[in-house]
Structure 1
Amino acid sequence: MHYLVGTTSVHTTAAICDYLDERATADDTVTVVAVAPTDDATARRDAQEALNVAPVRLATVGTVRTELREDGDPAAVLLDEATTAEADELLLTPREVTSDAPSGVGETVRAVLERSSIPVVVVPSPEL
C-alpha cells in the first residue's frame, strides 16, 4: 500500500501518523508532502518541521519519503503527486474550516475530495 499524506503542521503529521499506526506496515510506503510559499519563512519552517516528524513517528513503515514543495495550489500539488507516486490512498486533515464551507472541511480538502480518483481519508485534526 502506498499512502500519500498532505501536511502543513507538526500536529497534522502527528494525527495522520496516529491513524497510520494501526494500518501501515513494513511492506508499505508513505510519502509525506508539504506545500509552502517560498516567500513565507514561517510557513516553510512549519512545513519542514511537519515533514521531520514523519520518519520518526513511522519508523516501522517500510519506506517513508518526505518532500517540501514550494508554492502552488496545495490540492493540485497533492493530486499530481498522488498520480505520480501511484498512491493508493490520500490522507489529509481539515486544516481550516470556514463558515461558508458546507462540507465541514476546508478548501483544500474539499477540492481534493471532489477531484481525487483514489480514496481520500480525512483524519480529524487535533487543532480544530
Structure 2
Amino acid sequence: MRYLAGTDSVHTTAAICDYLDDRATADDEVAVVSIAPPDDPAAERDSQEALNVAPVRLTAIGSVETHLREGEPAAELLAAAGESDADEIVIGAHGGSPKATADVGSTARAVLANAARPVVVVPVPDL
C-alpha cells in the first residue's frame, strides 16, 4: 500500500504516525509531504521539523520518504498523491498550530472535495 501523508506541523505528523502505526507494514510505502510558502523561513523551518518526525516514528514501515514543497497546500497534496500513485491520502483535520480549531480546516476540506482516491482525516490533539 502507498500512503501520502500531508503535514504542516510536528503535531500533525505525530497524529498521522499514530494512525499509520496501526495500519502500515514493512511492505508499505509512505511519502510525507509538507508545503511551505515561498520566502517564509519560519514556515520552511516548521515544515522541515514536521518532516523530520516521520522517519523516526515510522521505522517499521518499508519505505518512508519526505518532501518539502512550495505552493497552495491542497493543490500540492493532490499533485503529490498523483505523482506517487498513493492508495490513500492521510492528513490532519486542522493545522497543528495553537490557533487551530477543532473544525476541519480549509486544506482538509479542499483535499476531501477534490481527491480521486480515499482520504483519511486524523484528529490533531489540542495543544
TM-score (norm 1): 0.91
Gaps of 5+ in 2: none
After the TM superposition, list the runs of 4 or more consecutive aligned residues in structure 1 that deviate by more than 2 angstroms: none
Distance 2:106 2:18 in 1: 23
Paired residue for 1:62?
62
Amino acid at match of 2:115: S
Taking the TM superposition and a 5 Å limit, the aligned residue runs for 1:1-128 are: 1-70=1-70, 72-96=71-95, 104-127=103-126
Paired residue for 1:101?
none
Distance 1:122 1:39 in 2: 29
Distance apart, 1:38 and its partner CA: 2.3
Q: Secondary structure at 2:124's aligned position in 1? A: coil
Distance 2:14 2:105 in 1: 19
8 Å CA contact 1:25, 1:61 repeated in 2: yes
Number of corresponding residues: 123
Amino acid at match of 1:48: Q
8 Å CA contact 1:88, 1:118 repeated in 2: yes
Identical residues among aligned pairs (%): 63
1:45-98 deviation line (CA, Å, top 9, x unaligned) = 01000000000100000000000002x110000001111100000001122567
Gaps of 5+ in 1: 99-103
Distance 1:32 1:66 in 2: 5
8 Å CA contact 1:11, 1:127 repeated in 2: no
8 Å CA contact 1:32, 1:64 repeated in 2: yes
